[in-house]
Amino acid sequence: MTTTTTTTSTGTGARIDVQDLTKRFGDFTAVDHLSFSVEPGRITGFLGPNGAGKTTTLRMLLGLIRPSGGSATIDGHRYQDIETPMSVVGSALEATNFHPGRTGRDHLRVLADTAGVSTARVDEMLELVGIPAAARKRAGGYSMGMRQRLGLAAALLGDPRVLILDEPANGLDPEGIRWLRGFLRHLAGQGKTILISSHMLQEVEQTVDDVVIISNGRLVKQGAMADLHGDSQVVVRTSDNDALAGALRVADVTTHVEDGALMAATDDMRLIGDVALRAGLPLYELRQAHTDLEALFFQLTEGTNRNLGSAAAPERGALAGQEGGTE
């Protein structure tokens, strides 16, 4: 017998814990002993190549698929053991989960009635996500960006402590993406836990605090964005690389040449400027060097992505029938 545990929203986030999570579809292992955590008050990007197991993981976290092994919990509880889930977890896994003949407002009202949320909250959410004028239009006529906003409004109806979004920026124009970034940052500032799956790496880099990168259903990297850029380096361009390298060596700064520029192993740009000045060398460029997320992502996943090999993983659509409901 399953024991039901009530979890009450307190306005702050809740920790997500995935431990040794595994899901097999016949002989195919979609998620393979995956473990990671997501902390409250932070935006975590959940990244991986197509077919890496991201959507399957999110579905297991939300109780839509039964794991073959391991666990996925929110505030220490499985999703199905939460008595009032909309007050704890809000999710938007796809932007088509509504009746096309129903207005956006009516779609939210149905969800609100089911969860015991007031109609006033419906109108508040429509205003919050920026589609009040479209509320009386049939959702089937919404653009992709409007559907994304409607899905976000639905996820927020219960004022949840945790927000789980799959590709939330799909279909948004640049202004909408900028709005989403600020909106998610605002929610994280309130202490909410936010987990977003996305393939838009440049946007993720500007949005998230932490990243979880998986490939072939396995974890390949987890950490804070600030820690993923590697050791601090400064890009320096001057008229004489050898002379500046020698002067920096005296100051205990090692260097190497990359694409015609000196890469100095330090984050102290003032030191480099002072050394160059004393050496009488001009500086044409002086800036912090970082490994961008896109480069790191491909470095970590290209060699292990099963979709690039001869024995490719089943397409997402091939698993849709097996993933679509509770097993």
Across the chain, what does the average pLDDT equal? 86
Tell me which DSSP letter residue 4 carries: P
Q: Which two tokens stand for residue 202?
A: 């440049």
> Residue 254: which of 243, 265, 244 has the closest Cα?
265
Indicate whether 142 belongs to any domain: no
Q: Are 80 and 2 in contact (CB under 8 A)?
A: yes
Residues 177 and 265 in one domain: no
Residues 22 and 81 in one domain: yes
Q: Kindly report which listed range (117-131, 137-151, 299-313) carries the lowest average pLDDT score.
A: 299-313
Q: Render pLDDT for 231-253 as a digit per residue (tens, 0 to 9).
A: 678 999 999 999 999 999 999 99
Burial zone of 101 (CB within 10 Å; 0-12 exposed, 13-18 middle, 19+ buried): exposed
Q: In whole angstroms, how far apart are CA 101 and each of 122, 129, 302, 316?
A: 18, 21, 43, 27
Indicate whether 125 belongs to any domain: no
Q: What are phi and psi of 60, to 5 degrees?
A: -70, -40
Residues 61 and 164 in one domain: yes
Q: Which two tokens stand for residue 119?
A: 């109609």
Residue whose tokens read 């009450």: 8
Q: Render pLDDT for 312-327 as a digit per residue (tens, 0 to 9).
A: 444 444 344 444 333 3
Q: Render pLDDT for 17-29 as a digit per residue (tens, 0 to 9).
A: 999 999 999 999 9
Indicate whether 138 belongs to any domain: no
Q: Are 39 and 52 in contact (CB under 8 A)?
A: no
What is the per-residue pLDDT for 16?
98
Confidence of residue 54 (pLDDT cuts 50, 70, 90): very high
Cβ neighbours of residue 184 closer than 8 Å, sequence gap 6 or more = 43, 163, 168, 194, 196, 207
More confident residue, 259 or 202: 259
| Single-letter residue type at 218 | R
Indicate whether 108 belongs to any domain: no
CATH number at residue 251: 3.30.70
Bridge partners (DSSP) listed for residue 89: 162
CATH number at residue 42: 3.40.50.300
Indicate whether 4 belongs to any domain: no
Residues 25 and 83 in one domain: yes
Residues 237 and 223 in one domain: no
Measured from the Cβ of residue 12, the count of other Cβ atoms closer than 10 Å reads 12
Residues 26 and 48 in one domain: yes
Q: In whole angstroms, how far apart are CA 23 and each of 34, 56, 67, 96, 171?
A: 10, 8, 5, 25, 30
Q: Are 86 and 7 in contact (CB under 8 A)?
A: no
Q: Residue 10 pLDDT more than 50?
A: no
Burial zone of 271 (CB within 10 Å; 0-12 exposed, 13-18 middle, 19+ buried): middle
Tell me the residue range of the domain where 300 lies: 16-88+160-227+294-315
Report the alpha-carbon distance of residue 210 to residue 193 in Å, rounded.
12
Number of folded domains that form the chain: 2
Residues 167 and 252 in one domain: no
Residue whose tokens read 């499985």: 78
Report the alpha-carbon distance of residue 181 to residue 167 in Å, rounded.
13
> Strand 43-47 vs strand 193-197: parallel, antiparallel, or unpaired?
parallel
Measured from the Cβ of residue 68, the count of other Cβ atoms closer than 10 Å reads 16
What is the per-residue pLDDT for 99?
82
The pLDDT > 70 percentage for the chain reads 87
Indicate whether 258 belongs to any domain: yes
Indicate whether 51 belongs to any domain: yes
**Helix H segments across 7-103?**
54-61
Residues 66 and 175 in one domain: yes
Residues 306 and 260 in one domain: no
Residues 244 and 275 in one domain: yes
Report the alpha-carbon distance of residue 220 to residue 182 in Å, rounded.
28
Residues 215 and 305 in one domain: yes
Looking at residues 158-169, what average pLDDT do you find?
A: 93
What is the per-residue pLDDT for 2?
39
Indicate whether 127 belongs to any domain: no
Q: Render pLDDT for 172-198 as a digit per residue (tens, 0 to 9).
A: 888 889 999 999 999 999 999 999 998
Residues 209 and 249 in one domain: no
Q: Are 85 and 164 in contact (CB under 8 A)?
A: no
What is the per-residue pLDDT for 125?
93
Q: Residue 70 pLDDT more than 80?
A: yes
| Single-letter residue type at 148 | Q
